[in-house]
Chain A
Amino acid sequence: MNFSRDEKPVGSSPPRRADFGEYRDEDLIVMVQEGQKKAFDELVARYKGRLFSFILRMVKDPGLAEELTQETLIRVYIHAAKYREIAKFSTWVFTIATNLVRNKMRQRSRRPRMVSLNPAPDEDEMPVDPADLVADPSESIHREELADLINEATSRIPEKYRIPFLLREVEQLSYEEIQQVTGLKLGTVRSRINRARTRFRLLIKPMLKNESLLEELERIEARAAEEKNNDQ
Chain B
Amino acid sequence: MRCNKATGYLSQGMDEQLPPDVTVELTRHLDGCESCQAYREDLLVARRLITATEPEISENFEWKLQLRLNQAMQQAVGESAYPWESDEADRWHWFRNFGAATAVGLAAVLALAMFIGPVGGPQAPGFVAPGNLAQNTPSLVRSASSGAVGSDRLPFRLDNPRGGLQRSVSTGANAVFTGGERFSLNRGWSGGNTSDLMTIQRLKAQNQQLNHRMRLLQQEVLRLRAKLDSSDSSALDLEQK
Give the complex CA separation of A224 and B53 in angstroms.
Answer: 11
Render B23-60 as a binary contact track against A, CB cut-off 8 A, 1 for contact.
00000000000000001001101111111111111100
Closest residue on chain B to residue A204 by CB atoms: B46
B76 at the interface (CB under 8 A from A): yes
Give the complex CA separation of A200 and B45 in angstroms.
Answer: 11
Within the complex, the shortest CB–CB distance from B97 to chain A, in Å, comes to: 32
A126 at the interface (CB under 8 A from B): no
Residue contact B50 to A170, C-beta cutoff 8 Å? yes
Residue contact B73 to A201, C-beta cutoff 8 Å? no
Within the complex, the shortest CB–CB distance from A135 to chain B, in Å, comes to: 18
Select the stretch in B62-70, B78-86, B111-119, B132-140 that faces chain A.
B62-70
Tell me whether chain B's interface is mostly helix, strand or loop, or mixed: helix
Render A185-217 as a binary contact track against B, CB cut-off 8 A, 1 for contact.
000001001100110110011001000001001
Tell me the B88-111 residues at the A interface (CB within 8 Å). none
Residue contact A66 to B58, C-beta cutoff 8 Å? yes
Residue contact A204 to B49, C-beta cutoff 8 Å? yes
Q: In the complex, what residues of A have CB within 8 A of residue B49's CB?
A: 146, 150, 204, 217
Give the complex CA separation of A230 and B168 in angstroms.
Answer: 96
A62 at the interface (CB under 8 A from B): yes
Knowing A73-B65, A194-B8, the reply to whether A78 touches B52 (Cβ < 8 A) is no
Q: In the complex, what residues of B have CB within 8 A of residue A146's CB?
A: 49, 52-53
Contact of A70 among B11, B55, B64, B76 (CB under 8 A): B64
Closest residue on chain B to residue A224 by CB atoms: B52
Residue contact B68 to A151, C-beta cutoff 8 Å? no
Residue contact B46 to A197, C-beta cutoff 8 Å? yes
Knowing A74-B69, A205-B42, A208-B45, the reply to whether A66 touches B57 (Cβ < 8 A) is yes
Give the complex CA separation of A194 and B46 in angstroms.
Answer: 13
Give the complex CA separation of A143 and B53 in angstroms.
Answer: 7
Contact of A66 among B39, B43, B48, B61 (CB under 8 A): B61
Tell me whether chain A's interface is mostly helix, strand or loop, or mixed: helix
Within the complex, the shortest CB–CB distance from B122 to chain A, in Å, comes to: 70
Residue contact B46 to A200, C-beta cutoff 8 Å? yes
In addition to A49-B56, A65-B55, A204-B49, 13 A-B residue pairs with Cβ atoms within 8 Å of each other are A44-B62, A48-B62, A48-B65, A53-B54, A69-B61, A73-B65, A78-B73, A146-B49, A150-B49, A169-B51, A170-B54, A201-B43, A220-B52
A32 at the interface (CB under 8 A from B): no
Give the complex CA separation of A14 and B57 in angstroms.
Answer: 29
Q: In the complex, what residues of B have CB within 8 A of residue A28's CB?
A: none
A residues engaging B (CB < 8 A)?
41, 44, 48-49, 52-53, 56-57, 62, 65-66, 69-71, 73-74, 77-78, 143, 146-147, 150-151, 154, 168-170, 175, 190, 193-194, 197-198, 200-201, 204-205, 208, 214, 217, 220-221, 224
Q: In the complex, what residues of A have CB within 8 A of residue B47's CB?
A: 169
Knowing A69-B57, A197-B43, A208-B42, the reply to whether A169 touches B52 (Cβ < 8 A) is no
Within the complex, the shortest CB–CB distance from A167 to chain B, in Å, comes to: 12
Q: In the complex, what residues of B have CB within 8 A of residue A57's CB?
A: 55
Closest residue on chain A to residue B12 by CB atoms: A190
Residue contact A194 to B53, C-beta cutoff 8 Å? no
B207 at the interface (CB under 8 A from A): no
Q: In the complex, what residues of B have CB within 8 A of residue A52's CB?
A: 55, 57, 61
Residue contact B17 to A147, C-beta cutoff 8 Å? no
Contact of A194 among B12, B56, B62 (CB under 8 A): B12
Give the complex CA separation of A184 and B47 in angstroms.
Answer: 23
Q: In the complex, what residues of B have CB within 8 A of residue A143's CB?
A: 53
Q: In the complex, what residues of A have CB within 8 A of residue B64's CB?
A: 66, 70
Give the complex CA separation of A175 and B17 in angstroms.
Answer: 9
Residue contact B46 to A175, C-beta cutoff 8 Å? no
Residue contact B52 to A44, C-beta cutoff 8 Å? no
Q: In the complex, what residues of A have CB within 8 A of residue B181's CB?
A: none
Residue contact B73 to A154, C-beta cutoff 8 Å? no
Within the complex, the shortest CB–CB distance from A198 to chain B, in Å, comes to: 8
Contact of B72 among A69, A78, A170, A220 (CB under 8 A): A78
Give the complex CA separation of A150 and B47 in angstroms.
Answer: 11
